């Protein structure tokens, strides 16, 4: 059996009375990792378990002895001796630490390791004596103030450089509405400045904290406590439990996966799909399938690498399926409708559609909803199920060429041949009106106040139909005026008959008219 590593009944009793950590139950001392030897927050070296003593028990006793020696008024002396053929470090003549075979790295002798540790301990004790002296604060204070001043200069310098380099990111009210991509870039620019400034102050505080023993001890204890807390099993799945650190790592990997897939799709759209000759809707369908396919398989790979047994999620998936079928009927209906739209392609990105009282251009096809930009430039989110449950007019389906009707009425007695020529001439010089098929004029009928004609033209831009119709009306009115052809307005003739027609006025109106009658009577 390996001999004890230190002497003293008080220390040995304290070590033997130390309870085992609940996280380490069921493991022997030889199965645990090394523990650090620390003085004033600085790690000097690490030691391994020995016999029935864990590394934590060994290091706790050594750290306590070193703290007592550093706090004492007399200088501490470190010596190296041999006991039971093993080198032993002595502190003021008392056994501090025995160097075992496990403490010695491969290719090094135990005595060489003991001498190296002796030198580190002497340097650490000497440095601790200097840093605990009253004059240490007077020596360090000017440097602390200088570091704070440098941090403040860097803080404001970074702010000035960022404001000059990215002025749009700091405008309170941008001159033009920002697109989604521009808003993201603006947020990243401002976040980058905040992170850089925080990094400057963090580095300054870390350096200042490293100058004082108390702050180093507190920082080391806080870091060790946070490390233990983050490593506590939090989420049991299957035969394994996962800590908060594992969950944070998984979330970070999933976010990187989403960003990577987004970057890959942007490169695919700009470098590959745009040169394939595919329609805009076809490119969007390919990008849609790749996006969700890569996200699905990438998430599966990450979960497998993370160590999650996906078979343990079978029950969760079945419960989720029941919930989707019962409680999320509307969402599942829209999801299935989105898949039908993607594969059947009744509408595509860039199509001009009319659904109900909404007219607009399809901007984006999503799995649950579709974004339609109205003629007023407003983005409207339409659930996918509405495109399958209701009647949808797709002006761009198959071919964007569509016919536009322009009704015109002229006065009775007008030369119909001249009217026809004027309407045909109105189409000349209009770049939006197609020459094939040629414009046509139909004599629609005889109205109450006008002769009714209909001008039929074909256009290739259905989303501009109102603008095209307005341009034609301006042109038609000018040509009809040049030819002396009038456009009538509704008129009604009122015929009164009968000799005993009596006009009755209200009493109030008669009272107002009475003074005027008296004034106009002859005197």
Asked if residue 356 belongs to a domain, the reply is yes
CB 268 within 8 A of CB 290: yes
Q: Tell me, yes or no, whether 82 and 156 share the same domain.
A: no
Where in the sequence is the domain holding 378, given as residue range(s)?
329-394
CA–CA separation, 412 and 342 (whole Å): 54
CA–CA separation, 254 and 260 (whole Å): 10
Q: Tell me, yes or no, whether 354 and 455 share the same domain.
A: no
Asked if residue 269 belongs to a domain, the reply is yes
CA–CA separation, 392 and 353 (whole Å): 7
What CATH number should be reported for the domain holding residue 413? Answer: 3.30.70.100
Asked if residue 256 belongs to a domain, the reply is yes
CA–CA separation, 139 and 126 (whole Å): 17
CA–CA separation, 406 and 429 (whole Å): 17
- pLDDT of res. 407: 92
Q: Tell me, yes or no, whether 351 and 384 share the same domain.
A: yes
Asked if residue 353 belongs to a domain, the reply is yes
Count of residues making up the chain: 523
- pLDDT of res. 472: 92
Asked if residue 420 belongs to a domain, the reply is yes
pLDDT (tens digit, 0 to 9) for every residue of the chain, 523 residues total? 333 333 333 333 333 333 333 333 344 444 567 888 888 888 888 988 887 888 888 888 898 888 888 887 777 888 888 888 888 888 888 888 888 888 888 888 888 888 999 999 888 888 888 888 888 888 888 999 999 999 999 999 998 888 888 877 666 544 444 455 566 677 788 888 889 999 999 999 989 888 888 888 888 778 777 777 777 777 666 666 777 777 888 888 888 888 888 888 888 877 787 777 776 666 777 787 788 888 888 888 887 777 766 665 665 566 666 665 665 677 777 778 887 887 777 888 888 888 888 888 888 887 788 888 887 888 888 888 888 888 888 877 777 788 888 999 998 888 889 999 999 999 988 888 888 888 999 999 998 888 999 999 988 888 888 888 999 999 999 999 888 888 887 766 666 665 555 666 677 777 776 765 555 555 5
Q: Tell me, yes or no, whether 69 and 183 share the same domain.
A: no
Q: Tell me, yes or no, whether 227 and 251 share the same domain.
A: no
CA–CA separation, 255 and 247 (whole Å): 12
Asked if residue 278 belongs to a domain, the reply is yes
- pLDDT of res. 156: 93
- pLDDT of res. 35: 87
Q: Tell me, yes or no, whether 112 and 147 share the same domain.
A: no
Number of domains in the chain: 5
- pLDDT of res. 12: 33
Q: Tell me, yes or no, whether 126 and 16 share the same domain.
A: yes
Q: Tell me, yes or no, whether 153 and 216 share the same domain.
A: yes
Q: Tell me, yes or no, whether 127 and 141 share the same domain.
A: no
- pLDDT of res. 11: 36
Task: List Cβ neighbours of 470 (8 Å cut-off, separation of 6 or more).
Answer: none
- What's the pTM value of the predicted model, to 2 decimals? 0.46
- pLDDT of res. 391: 85
- pLDDT of res. 517: 52
End position of a domain, from candidates 206, 231, 256: 231
Asked if residue 237 belongs to a domain, the reply is no
* Of 181, 65, 174, residue with least CA distance to 124: 65
Residue 112 CA, chain-centre distance (Å), reads: 56
Q: Tell me, yes or no, whether 18 and 85 share the same domain.
A: yes
**How would you list the strands of the sheet with 379-383, edge to edge?**
379-383, 369-374, 358-365, 352-355, 392-394
CB 462 within 8 A of CB 402: yes
CA–CA separation, 119 and 78 (whole Å): 9
Q: What is the 3-state secondary structure (H, E, C) of 68-128?
A: HHHHCCCCCCEEEEEECCEEEEEECCEEEEECCCCCCCCCCCHHHHHHHHHHHHHHHHHHH
End position of a domain, from candidates 300, 322, 344: 322
CB 372 within 8 A of CB 379: yes
Q: Tell me, yes or no, whether 92 and 59 share the same domain.
A: yes
Q: Tell me, yes or no, whether 105 and 208 share the same domain.
A: no
Contacts 24+ apart (CB under 8 A), 139-144: 140/211, 140/212, 143/211, 144/208, 144/211
What CATH number should be reported for the domain holding residue 339? Answer: 2.30.30.60
End position of a domain, from candidates 293, 322, 351: 322
* Of 4, 5, 100, 15, residue with least CA distance to 60: 15
Helix, strand, coil % in the chain, rounded to nearest 5: 55, 15, 30
- pLDDT of res. 328: 62
Asked if residue 95 belongs to a domain, the reply is yes
């Amino acid at each position: 059996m390996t001999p004890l590593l230190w002497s003293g009944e008080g220390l040995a009793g304290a070590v033997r009375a130390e309870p085992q950590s609940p996280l380490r139950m069921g493991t022997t001392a030889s199965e645990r990792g090394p523990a650090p030897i620390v003085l004033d927050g600085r790690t000097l070296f690490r030691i391994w378990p020995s016999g029935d003593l864990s590394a934590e028990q060994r290091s706790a006793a050594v750290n306590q002895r070193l703290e007592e020696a550093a706090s004492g008024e007399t200088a501490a002396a470190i010596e190296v001796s041999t006991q039971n053929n093993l080198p032993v470090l002595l502190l003021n003549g008392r056994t501090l630490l025995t160097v075992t075979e496990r403490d010695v790295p491969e290719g090094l002798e135990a005595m060489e390791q003991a001498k190296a540790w002796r030198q580190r301990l002497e340097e650490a004790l000497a440095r601790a004596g200097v840093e605990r002296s009253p004059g240490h604060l007077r020596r360090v204070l000017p440097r602390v103030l200088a570091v704070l001043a440098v941090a403040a200069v860097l803080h404001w310098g970074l702010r000035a450089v960022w404001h000059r380099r990215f002025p749009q990111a700091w405008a309170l009210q941008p001159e033009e509405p920002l697109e989604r991509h521009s808003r993201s870039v603006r947020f990243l620019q401002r976040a980058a400045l905040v992170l850089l400034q925080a990094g400057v102050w963090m580095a300054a505080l870390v350096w200042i904290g490293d100058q004082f023993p108390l702050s180093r001890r507190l920082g080391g204890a806080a870091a060790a406590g946070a490390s233990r807390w983050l490593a506590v099993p939090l989420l049991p799945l299957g035969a394994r439990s996962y800590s908060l650190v594992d969950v944070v790592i998984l979330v970070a990997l999933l976010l990187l996966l989403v960003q990577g897939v987004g970057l890959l799709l942007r490169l695919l759209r700009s470098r590959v799909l745009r040169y394939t000759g595919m329609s805009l809707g076809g490119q969007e369908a390919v990008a849609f399938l790749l996006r969700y396919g890569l996200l699905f398989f990438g998430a599966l790979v990450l979960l497998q690498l993370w160590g999650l047994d996906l078979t343990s999620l079978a029950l969760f998936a079945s419960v989720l399926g029941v919930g989707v079928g019962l409680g999320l009927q509307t969402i599942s209906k829209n999801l299935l409708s989105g898949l039908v739209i993607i594969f059947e392609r009744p509408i595509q990105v860039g199509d001009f559609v009319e659904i109900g009282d909404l007219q607009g251009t399809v901007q984006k096809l999503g799995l649950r909803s579709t974004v339609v930009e109205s003629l007023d430039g407003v983005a409207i989110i339409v659930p996918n199920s509405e495109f399958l449950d209701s009647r949808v007019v797709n002006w761009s389906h198959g071919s964007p060429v569509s016919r536009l009707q322009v009704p015109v009425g002229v006065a009775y007695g007008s030369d119909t041949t001249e009217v026809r020529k004027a309407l045909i001439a109105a189409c000349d010089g209009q770049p939006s009106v197609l020459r094939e098929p040629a414009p046509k004029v139909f004599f629609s009928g005889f109205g109450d106040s006008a002769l009714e004609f209909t001008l039929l033209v074909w256009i290739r831009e259905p989303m501009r139909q109102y603008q095209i119709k307005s341009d034609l009306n301006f042109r038609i009115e000018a040509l009809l005026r040049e030819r002396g052809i009038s456009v009538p307005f509704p008129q009604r003739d009122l015929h009164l008959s009968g000799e005993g027609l009596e006009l009755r006025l209200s009493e109030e109106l008669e009272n107002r008219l009475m003074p005027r009658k008296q004034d106009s009577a002859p005197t």
